[in-house]
Amino acid sequence: MRCLVVTAHPLPNSLCASLRDRVVETLHAAGHEVATEDLYAERFDPALSPAERGAYYAGGFPIDAIADQVERLLAAEAIVLVFPTWWFGFPAMLKGWFDRVWAPGVAYDHADDYGPIRPRLHGLRQVLVVTTLGSPWWVDRLLLRQPVRRVLGTAILGTCAPRCRLRLCSLYRSERLGSAQVERFARRVEAQLRRWPV
């Protein structure tokens, strides 16, 4: 498949960066075509401009500044998102990627009467989230009911790519883990990727 790997962490030597490298290596070894985006390293601007926001309902969303990101998104049959969960949500950089790149005319179309939006990402088949959290699992799952899963699965993929399959690999208490525990998690991520059809 044509796979897009998107990383959102400001530190080039972070745990997320090392997990991203494992993801890319595993996808290449399985025979997939891989494109990568490191939003911090590429200095992606996450702020929605006034012109972009003004075009959300007016039509003709301006994509010149994000043409490369739009091209990679539209080509992707599978996406791996690698990021830290901060305050139980996306880093601002990744949220901005959704705001600007998953735009009207790209990821979906607005209904003329402001009704339900119509999906456009019909070719997107798989999304895997690889995320690190400082919290224990029970805070994310039991107390907050996995907000990243709910927002991504229902609000974003559910409306833009409804036939897409979402999986999450969440590494809890990530700051406290030893190398053996991190390695077990990385192997779990690799096992998920090996299930993807080529």
β-pairing verdict for 126-132 and 78-84: parallel
- Note the pLDDT of residue 137: 82
The size of the chain, in residues, is: 198
β-pairing verdict for 33-38 and 108-109: unpaired
pTM for the model stands at: 0.94
Tens digit of pLDDT at every position of the chain (198 positions): 999 999 999 999 999 999 999 999 999 999 999 999 999 999 999 999 999 998 888 888 999 999 999 999 999 999 999 999 999 999 999 999 999 999 999 999 987 777 888 999 999 999 999 999 988 888 888 888 899 999 999 999 999 999 999 999 999 998 888 889 999 999 999 999 999 987
Using only C-alpha atoms, what is the Rg of the chain? Answer: 17
Long-range contacts of residues 52-61, Cβ cutoff 8 Å, at least 24 apart: 52/100, 52/103, 55/104, 56/103, 56/104, 56/110, 57/104, 57/110, 57/114, 59/104, 59/105, 60/105, 61/103, 61/104, 61/105, 61/106
CA distance 185 to 178: 11
Beta strands in 85-173 (DSSP E): 108-109, 118-119, 126-132, 165-171
- Note the pLDDT of residue 168: 96
CA distance 195 to 198: 9
Contact 88, 144 (CB under 8 A): yes
- Note the pLDDT of residue 113: 75
H helices of the chain, where? Answer: 15-29, 50-54, 67-75, 92-101, 137-138, 147-150, 158-160, 179-194
